[in-house]
Amino acid sequence: MRVLVTGGGGFLGSHLVNRLRAEGLDPFVARRRDYDLTVAADAERMYADARPELVIHLAAEVGGIGANRANPGRYWYANLMMGAHVIEQSRLHGVAKTVVLGTICAYPKFAPVPFREDDLWDGYPEETNAPYGVAKKALLVGAQSYREQYGMNAIYLLPVNLYGPQDNFDLESSHVIPALIRKMIDAQERGEREIVLWGDGSPTREFLYVDDCAEGIWLAAKEYDDPDPVNLGTGEEISIRELAELIAELTGYDGEIVWDTTKPNGQPRRKLDVTRAEERFGFRAHTSLREGLQQTIAWYRSSPLAATGA
């Protein structure tokens, strides 16, 4: 089977590509340096080169709260256009199945907890990442509309916050787990006794280890063919304050954690109802947060990033 993975050189993409290769597949890995998917001609060229039977669309422009606040227009435009071009080219090329990844940021700011897929449209997303979330949610409409009009087999998955080895540790654009790991390890190495974190630590988040997410995507690609969106997660939440304390324990950081309450908290709570994924295609996450953090910290300590502070 010819498989195209957009964003295949990225964090999640690289883990998914490894998972597909373990199945004996040789996926076509589309990287930004070769195809700018915000440009229709590049998307068309990518499909001509790959000739895919299965498309897994992971390519996205993403970041933490700071990056979302700095790039609302870009994140809205880039994610909307990339997804629209992929869905349209899948239609034009008669692709047998297209897997589109959404985002937990698409849920309403005050969605009932745990987040159920049926609540996706019951409110506006949290403001700091709403442009990104709205753009990705529009791709669900596109996938369902193309299914209705053209008979296209497109499915839509909603992964929760991901983490793991090879994550983005750039403090300007990283998400919370790699940012905390880097800040604490850097502080240790510099002999600093204090780190400053955004907000007050009260929001809760759910985290999915990247290899578990790759497994969920592969199971859905094989087994799931319905129009309904599906959450991918663990169904477990932790406060940012508790997360910081856990990462401090695992990294050995014993300095002070200062909360800058002039900075935004983001969405108050995030916890998914993961029933549908287990019922529809048998997915259940297997990596505990502690185990996944230990592996992520070990990877960062052994990588050139830790040595260079990059």
Enumerate the active-site residues.
Answer: 132
**Spatial distance between the Cα atoms of 107 and 116, rounded to a whole number of angstroms:** 9
Compute the Cα dihedral for 269, 71, 87, 7 and give only its sign.
negative
**Spatial distance between the Cα atoms of 294 and 299, rounded to a whole number of angstroms:** 9
Which region holds residue 49: left if phi is over 0, alpha if psi is between -120 and 50, else beta? alpha
Taking the CA atoms of the chain, what radius of gyration do you get in angstroms? 19
The secondary structure element, H or E, covering residue 133 is helix 130-150
Beta pairing class for 54-57 and 3-6:
parallel
Beta pairing class for 28-30 and 194-198:
unpaired
The secondary structure element, H or E, covering residue 251 is helix 240-251
| Lookup: tokens for 195 | 């780190």
Q: Kindly give, in sequence order, each residue whose CB lies less than 8 Å from that of residue 21, ignoring residues fewer than 6 positions away.
A: 27
- Is-contact 20 27, C-beta < 8 A? yes
